[in-house]
Copies of this chain bind each other. A is one copy, B any other.
Amino acid sequence: MARTPLTRDEVLSVAGDLVKQHGPEALSMRKLAAELGTAVTSIYWHVGNRESLLDALVQRTVADLGTIRPRGSGPQERVVSIARTLRRQLRAHPHLVAMVHERGLTEHMFLPVQQALVHEAHAAKLRGADAAEAVRAVLFQVVGHVLVERNRERAPVQRPGEEELWAGAKAVAAEDDRALARALAAPVDSERLFDTSVHALVKSLLGPAT
Contacts and interface: CB of A to CB of B under 8 A. Distances in A.
Contacts of A118: 173-175, 180, 184
Q: Kindly name the residue among A132, A147, A159, A175 whose own CB sees the greatest number of chain B CB atoms within 10 A.
A: A132
Contacts of A182: 128
A155 B205 contact: no
A184 B119 contact: no
Nearest to A101: B151
Given A143-B148, A193-B140, A201-B200, A184 B104 contact: no
A148 B90 CA distance: 14
Given A104-B155, A106-B151, A144-B144, A129 B197 contact: no
Given A114-B173, A137-B197, A154 B106 contact: no
Interface string A145-183: 111100110111111111001000000011101011011
A102 B175 CA distance: 31
A53 interface: no
